[in-house]
Structure 1
C-alpha cells in the first residue's frame, strides 16, 4: 500500500473616449489574469486555440460578431473547393468598425455578456464534466485587436468565461516579421464523479479522518461496522470529486536575421482537486477493497528554447526542453472503518491497523534536446534529405517511505522490528532514471515528375537505470539454516529479502532456512527497456487522373526482461486514388502486417528478479517447486509480443452531385489474428467503422450538414486458471511424465500436463463493442437575423459473454450465468443560437443548450444505495466498499440571453 504574478505594466496613452472604454475592458481582463498564481504561456505551442464549451471556435475579434460573407470565399456566391474537391467553409465578414487614435493606431473590439440559467440535473457529472455553467451574470467573450501601420506593431487580447472554472485569456503583441510575444491563461474543469459517498473529512488533503459514526480500525463487530459504513455513506451522498486544471504561459519568437529565428517559452500547469482511489489491506488478493479519496495538487513547469535556421537549400532546428513535475502532497494517510485480519506478522494485534498510507506520485523531471536538419538535393533527382537526432532523460529521486507506520511489527522468523524506519530500506531515495535516444533519417527522390520515392530509417531506444533491491540490510533471520542468525547475500546486499505489504498487514517475504522458502518473492525492480528499428521504402506513382502508392516497412523490437527477446514485423501497404470518375474521388488502401519473433519463454525473463535466483530450488521427492518454475502457463501469449497477422482495408469516396453539395463515404475494416496463442487473445479480433457525411452550402448565408458514424469491435480471449491439478511436486506423475528437477519447468507450465494448469478447465470471453454517432446542423442568415441549430446523438454498448471453467462448482455456475449485463452509454445534445440586431453595434444572442444522458453500468449494480458488498450473512469483512455510485442519468438545460457589442 505504501512505498509503492504575473506583473502587468500599464502604458499611458492619449486616446479618444472609445479607447478609454477599451482600455477599461482590457485592464479588467488582465487584472483577472493577474489574480491567478499560475499565469504564464505554452512552452511548446499547445493551448494556442483557446475556448470552452460555449466558445468552441477560437475567439477572433475581427469576425466574432459578424455574419458570413455573402460573396463566399472566392468573390462569387458559389461554394469554393479545395484542389481535392472538398468544400471550403464560408468565411465571416471582417468588421468594418475600425477606429483610429491620434498616435496612429487602428483598433476594433467587441464584448459579449449577459445572463445564463441552468435547470434540471445540471449538477450531474455527465452535464458538467468539462464545463462550468451556472445561473447569473456571464461574460462570455471579449476581444480587442489593434495595429500601427507605420511601425508594423500590433496586439490582440481575447478572453471568455470570465470568473468561471473554464475561463480563458490570450494576448499576442509584437512587430510583424520581427518579433512576437504570446501569453495565455486558461482553466479546464474535470469532474470525475458527483455521486461519491464520502466517509472522511479532509478530502483533497493528505490526511483523511473518519466522519462521526465510524471507528478507526473498526469496532470489532463487523456486522455493526458494515451498517455504520452504509449509514454514513447514505448521509453523505452526491459528494463531487474533480479537479481544475489551470495553465498559463509565455512564448517569445524573434527573427534575428532573414534566415535565423530564436524562440523561448515557459508554461505552468497546476491541477488541484481529488478523485476516487482504491485501497486494499493484507495480501493474497487483499481484504476489504475500499474506495478512498486521492488528493491532487500538482504543478508542472515546462521550459523550451531553440532556434530555426533556413536558407534556399538547408534548414536546421535545435530545441531543448525541460519538464519539472511537482506533487505538493507527498503521502496520503487515511483511517479505515474496518477491522482487518493481519497475516503472519509478529506484533500485530486485532484492531491495530486503524490507518493506511500511500506514497503518492513522486516529483520528477524530464529533459530533452533535439536537432533537426533538412537539405534539398536538386542535383539528385530533385530530392530532399532529413535527419532528426534526439536525446532525453526522465528522472526521479523521491525520498522513500518505510514499509509500515506501525512500530514493533516484524515478519515471522525475522528478529528485527525496524520496518517502520527507513533503516529497513536498501536505499533512502528512488534514484530512478530512464534515458532515451532517437535517430531518424529520411530521403525523398523524384526521378520523374510523376514518381516519388521515399526511404527512411528510424532507431529509438530506452535505457532503464533503475535498480531497487527489496532487501533490509539491518535485519536478520532468526535462523539462517545452520542455527546462526544472519541474512542472505545477493547483489551487494546482505539482509532479509522481501517486504511488508499494505502498511504491514501482510508480508511478501523470503524466510531463512528454518522457514518455508519460496521462489517467486519479488526481490528487485525489473528495468524494462527496449530498442526499436524501423526501416521502410515508399513509392508514389502519379498517373493522369489517378495514382498508385506502395510501401514496405520492417519494424524490429529488441526487449530486455520480456518473454521474447526480439520481435519483427513486416508491414505492406498498397493504395490507389482515382479522380477520373465524374464528380467523384475514390481512395482505397490495403495494409497487411505480419509479426513474428524469437522463442517465447514465460518464466526466464523474470527469474533473476525473484527469490528463486538466490534460494536454490529443492530437489527432494515431494517438494513443491511451483513457485520456482511457474510464472504463467506456457501457452499464454501477451498481445504485444505474440505472433500477429493484421489486415486493414480503408476506403473513402467523395461525391459532388452539384457545386454546392458534398457527400462523403468512408470505411475501415480491420481483422487481427494471433495464430500461435493457445491462451490470451484468440480467434479473430475485428475493428470496423463506417462514416457518411453530407455538407450542403446552398448559399453563402446557409449551410446544412449531417453525419453518421458507426463503429464495431469484437475481441475473444481464452485462458486457464491455475489450480485443480495434481501439483508441481518432485517425483509426482503427470500426463507428461514424472516431474523431476530437470523437467519441472516444462511440465508444470504446460496445461497439457494437468499439474498446475488443467487444459480442460479453460474459460472464454467474447467481448463486443458498438458505438453510433449522429449529427445534424443547420445555419441560415435571415438577412440581419442569424440562426443556427445542431443536434448530436451518441450511443455506445459493450457486451461481454463468457464461459466458465469445467471445474467450477454448481453454485458458482448458477450465480455467474453466461455474461454481464450490457454496459450502455447514450447522450443527446441540442444547441441553438438566435442572433438579432438591436442597433448597428449591438446584437442580442439567445442561446439554448439541452442535454440528456443515460447510463447502464453493471459495475455499480446493486451498490447504488448501499456501497457495502457484504459477505453473507453480513458478519464478515465485505467483499468491497464501492463509494462512487457511478455515472447518473441526467436531463439538463442551459438558456442564455447575451448582448454582443461591437466597440
Structure 2
C-alpha cells in the first residue's frame, strides 16, 4: 500500500496520559474477572492463526493474490538467509490496486470463490477429521485492508470457508501506536468416528433410549443368546453413524497505549463444543461386567476473561495480568437404557433379575479457575551488564458440582446394612464436591555478562499445588446390622458416623467395609494429591570467534504428598557446542545427562489412611492381605522411579550453493530404570533422524524435500498376584514365617511366594517406528504458476510378550506371543495451478488426493459382529465394541476457484 510506511512513521510515538480512561478500563476488567462462573483456558481474547485445511497460511490481503517477488528481500535477487544461515522464503509481491474514498481512506481487497467437488471415500473419518469440504459453491477466502493517513486509523478483515464447519473470520482495527481491537470467530470440526453402530435414539443428547424397532429389551430379555443376536442385528442395521463435534470460538481483545511507558490490554473469548463421541460403561464389580460403548453428549461452554497492564522504561519492565474463566457442561448427566440382563452382586440387597433397565453417568463437572500473575524485569548495567527477572503467580481451580446418589434404584442397599436410602443424596457425606486446588509460583532469574563473550545465568523456580478436596465415602444416615460387637449401629471415623464404602455401577455391586468381617482395602476417602517442585540452575555460554560452548546444571526436587516416595531429586547436566568456522557449514551438538533418585519407596503406606484399614486394626490371625498389600514391593511407577537418561542432539546445516540448504539432524536418547524390578525396566530408546533440503534455484522457483525417521523401544515386566501360599499369619514362606510385624514386608515381596510368585513374571517389548516423507515444488512459468506437495506418513507399533509360567496351557496357546502389528499410513497429494485471466482475476485449479490405510488389532474380528463373548452366542459379552474403528479410505477433492482483486 503506497502510504503504509509513511502513515506509520507519521503517528506520534507518545500519547498523553489517560488516567480517567485507565480507571474505567481496569475497573471494568476487574469486574469481569470477579464475575461468577469463570474458568481459565488459553484466554487472552485471541486465538491461534486463523485458517482451515484449504487455507493453511495466514491471510494477508495486501499480498494474498500476488506471486513471489523477483527482487527478493530489500531489492536483492539473491536468496536471503537468517542469522543462523537458513534460507528465507521469498516475499510475495504486494498488490498495486489501491482505491481511495473522498473521506481519505485507502483500501484494497480480494475474494476467492468457486466450486468444489469431492469423490471417493470422502465421508470417512480419516479424510474429514478436521475439515469440512463438500460439493457445490465455496467461498474459500477474502480479505480487505484499509488505512486513513490523516488520522492513522486502519482496518483489516479476513475470512474463509464461509458456511462450512471450518469457517473462520477475523477483524483488526485501531490507530497506529495508540489502540487496537482484534476480533475473531472460527469453527473447527473433529470427527471421532464414522463407523459407529448405534443401538439408541437420542444420540448426542442426555438420554439414550433403545431403538424401538431394534428388538432390544431394556434390562434384557432373560435369554442371553437371543440378546447377543439382537445386539448384533441392531448394530448391523445402524452402521456408519458419525460421531464428532464442532468447536466454535470467538473473542475480542483490546490493546491500548496509555503513555509512553504504560499499556493496557483486556480480552474475552467464548468457546462452545457441541457433538458426541464414543464412551464406555460397565456394570457390577470385579472389574465390571459386560463393558459396552455408549455415546457421550458434548455440550460445553468456556468463557475466558483476561486483563492486565504493561509498563516499560529504560531500566524496568513490569507486567500484571489477571485471568478468570468458566467451564460449563450443559449436558451434565448421561442416562442410557441397557440391552443386558444385569446380575447384581450378592453383596447388594433388594436387587431382582431384570430390574437394571437403565444406567447413568455424572459427566464432567462445571468448574472455575482464577489466576493472577506479576512479571518484573530490571536491567543492571552496573552489575556486569546484567538483567534480573521475577515472576509471581497465584491460581485456584474449583468445582462444587452437586453429587449424585450412589444408585437411582430405590430399595437397594448393602446386605450388611438395614438402611435403604442409598438412592438419595442423604446417603452422601456431603451434598456437593467442594473441590479446590490452589497453585503458587515464584520464578527468579539473573543474567550477567562479565565480558562480551561470556554470559552467565542463574535461576530458581518454585511451584506448588495444594489440594483441599476431601470426600468421605460414609453414609451418615445408615447403620450396620452388626457393627462388629453383635449390635447394630454406625462406625465413627474422620468426623462421620455411619456405613463406610459405596454402591457402585448404579447399585449393581458394592465396595463396603464390614466391621463384622473387616477388610483393609475398601476405599473410604479421596486422596488429596499435591506436590511442591523446586528448580535451581546455573548456565554459561562462552562465545569464541566462530564457535560457542555452553554448559548448564539444574537440580529439580519434588516433594509429594500421598505418593510412594515423599521426595525425588533429579540432577540435569547439559553441554553444548556450536561451530560456524567450517566453510558453508554450521554444526550444533549437545549432550544431556539426567539422574533421578529419591527417598525410600513405600508401596502401601501412602494410601493406608484412605482405606478401610484405618477403621480397624489388622487382625493377628488369618489372612491379612487386604491390610498390607497395595502392590508388590519391586514395582516402581515411572514418574517416581530412579532414572538415568542420556540425550545426544546433533544438527548440521550445509550450504553447498548460495541458493541451496541441506540440513541433517538427529537425536539419540537412552533411558534406564536401574532400581525397578517390575514396571519399566531395561533400556528404553527414543531415536530420530531428519534430513531436509531447500533449493531456491530461481527467484520464483523453489523445491523442498524432507525425510524423518523415529523409533522408540521400551520394556515392561510384571508379576500377577495369585498362585502363592497366601498372606496368612503363621504361614511359612521362603522369607520366613509371616507375623503381624513382618506381614507387609513378606507379602509384598514376590520372592516370598506368598501373594506374588516371582517365577510367574511376564514381560512386554514395545516398539514404535514412524517414517515421514515430504516434497514440494513451486515454479512460475510466466503465463501460469504451479505448485504441488506430497506427504507420506507411516507408523507401526509392535508388541510382543512372554506369559506367566502358571498360566493354563489352553489360555497360553490362545494368547500367543504378541499382538498383531498396529499400523497406519497416509498419503496426501495437493496441487495448485494458477492462471491469470486479466489484471484483476486469476483462476485457481485445486487438486487434492488422500489415501489412508489402517490396521488396528483392537477392532479385529469386531467389524461385522460387535459382541465379543467367551462362550460364542450364549455367554455374557466380554465387551460390546460398537465403534468399528478407523476405515481405509481413498478420496479426492477438486476445486475451480477465482481470485478477484477488488
TM-score by length of 2: 0.95
Correspondence 1:511 to 2:514: yes
Alignment of structure 1 residues 358-757 onto 2, 5 Å = 358-513=361-516, 516-620=517-621, 623-757=622-756
Correspondence 1:180 to 2:180: yes
1:775 paired residue number: 774
Instruction: Detail structure 1 runs of 4+ shifted over 2 Å in the superposition.
Output: none
| Separation in 2, partners of 1:602, 1:700 | 66
Contact 1:108 / 1:146 at 8 angstroms: preserved in 2? yes
Deviation at 1:330, TM superposition (A): 1.4
2:31 paired residue number: none
Deviation at 1:505, TM superposition (A): 0.2
Gaps of 5+ in 2: 1-40
Deviation at 1:628, TM superposition (A): 0.4
2:30 paired residue number: none
| Separation in 1, partners of 2:292, 2:537 | 50
Contact 2:546 / 2:579 at 8 angstroms: preserved in 1? yes
SS of 1:268's partner is strand
Contact 2:45 / 2:305 at 8 angstroms: preserved in 1? no
| Separation in 1, partners of 2:344, 2:477 | 24
Correspondence 1:348 to 2:332: no
Deviation at 1:48, TM superposition (A): 4.2
Contact 2:281 / 2:292 at 8 angstroms: preserved in 1? yes
Deviation at 1:42, TM superposition (A): 7.8
Deviation at 1:570, TM superposition (A): 0.2
Gaps of 5+ in 1: 1-40
Deviation at 1:84, TM superposition (A): 1.1
2:793 paired residue number: 794
Contact 1:43 / 1:250 at 8 angstroms: preserved in 2? no
Deviation at 1:269, TM superposition (A): 0.2
SS of 2:75's partner is coil
Alignment of structure 1 residues 250-269 onto 2, 5 Å = 250-269=252-271
1:300 to 286, 302, 306: 302
SS of 2:813's partner is helix
Q: Per the alignment, do residues 756 and 466 of structure 1 end up closer, same or farther by CA in structure 2, a change over 3 Å counting?
A: same
| Separation in 2, partners of 1:874, 1:745 | 45
| Separation in 2, partners of 1:750, 1:479 | 35
CA deviation string 1:633-661 (max 9, x = no partner): 00000000000000000000000000000
Deviation at 1:479, TM superposition (A): 1.1
SS of 1:617's partner is coil
2:338 paired residue number: 336
| Separation in 2, partners of 1:420, 1:73 | 73
| Separation in 1, partners of 2:45, 2:536 | 30
Contact 1:42 / 1:249 at 8 angstroms: preserved in 2? no
CA deviation string 1:835-876 (max 9, x = no partner): 000111001100000000000000000001000002214212
Contact 2:155 / 2:172 at 8 angstroms: preserved in 1? yes
Deviation at 1:512, TM superposition (A): 2.8
1:321 paired residue number: 323
CA deviation string 1:304-331 (max 9, x = no partner): 0000000000000000001200000111
Contact 1:557 / 1:567 at 8 angstroms: preserved in 2? yes
Deviation at 1:784, TM superposition (A): 3.7
Deviation at 1:895, TM superposition (A): 0.1
Contact 1:42 / 1:251 at 8 angstroms: preserved in 2? no
Deviation at 1:46, TM superposition (A): 4.5
1:33 paired residue number: none
2:3 paired residue number: none
| Separation in 2, partners of 1:251, 1:498 | 50
CA deviation string 1:167-202 (max 9, x = no partner): 000000000000000000000000000000000110
Deviation at 1:100, TM superposition (A): 0.4
Contact 1:843 / 1:901 at 8 angstroms: preserved in 2? yes
Q: Per the alignment, do residues 42 and 737 of structure 1 end up closer, same or farther by CA in structure 2, a change over 3 Å counting?
A: closer
Moved more, 804-813 or 864-873: 864-873
CA deviation string 1:391-440 (max 9, x = no partner): 00000000000000000001011010100000000000000000000000
| Separation in 2, partners of 1:731, 1:824 | 53
SS of 1:879's partner is strand
| Separation in 2, partners of 1:810, 1:55 | 58
- Note the aligned Cα RMSD (angstroms): 0.8
CA deviation string 1:301-359 (max 9, x = no partner): 00000000000000000000012000001110100001111002110001111111100
| Separation in 1, partners of 2:271, 2:709 | 36
2:860 paired residue number: 861
Contact 2:539 / 2:550 at 8 angstroms: preserved in 1? yes
| Separation in 2, partners of 1:784, 1:318 | 55
| Separation in 1, partners of 2:684, 2:694 | 34
| Separation in 1, partners of 2:399, 2:545 | 58
1:281 to 276, 280, 283: 283
| Separation in 1, partners of 2:325, 2:89 | 38
2:92 paired residue number: 92
Contact 2:46 / 2:269 at 8 angstroms: preserved in 1? no
2:110 paired residue number: 110
1:192 paired residue number: 192
TM-score by length of 1: 0.95
| Separation in 2, partners of 1:255, 1:247 | 27
CA deviation string 1:493-519 (max 9, x = no partner): 000000000000000000132xx3210
1:11 paired residue number: none
CA deviation string 1:348-372 (max 9, x = no partner): 0011111111000000001000000
SS of 2:745's partner is helix
2:221 paired residue number: 219
| Separation in 1, partners of 2:537, 2:492 | 49
Alignment of structure 1 residues 801-812 onto 2, 5 Å = 801-812=800-811
Aligned residues: 859
CA deviation string 1:448-469 (max 9, x = no partner): 0000000000000000000000
CA deviation string 1:689-719 (max 9, x = no partner): 0000000001120000000000000000001
2:53 paired residue number: 53
2:829 paired residue number: 830
SS of 2:87's partner is coil
Contact 1:414 / 1:476 at 8 angstroms: preserved in 2? yes
SS of 2:317's partner is strand
Contact 1:74 / 1:80 at 8 angstroms: preserved in 2? no
| Separation in 2, partners of 1:368, 1:682 | 40
2:10 paired residue number: none
| Separation in 1, partners of 2:357, 2:681 | 45
2:134 paired residue number: 134
Contact 1:42 / 1:250 at 8 angstroms: preserved in 2? no
Correspondence 1:243 to 2:242: no
Deviation at 1:813, TM superposition (A): 1.0
Contact 2:687 / 2:710 at 8 angstroms: preserved in 1? yes
| Separation in 2, partners of 1:470, 1:792 | 54
Q: Per the alignment, do residues 48 and 784 of structure 1 end up closer, same or farther by CA in structure 2, a change over 3 Å counting?
A: farther
| Separation in 1, partners of 2:139, 2:674 | 60
Contact 2:46 / 2:184 at 8 angstroms: preserved in 1? no
Contact 2:393 / 2:442 at 8 angstroms: preserved in 1? yes
Contact 2:45 / 2:252 at 8 angstroms: preserved in 1? no
SS of 2:671's partner is strand
2:15 paired residue number: none
| Separation in 2, partners of 1:76, 1:544 | 28
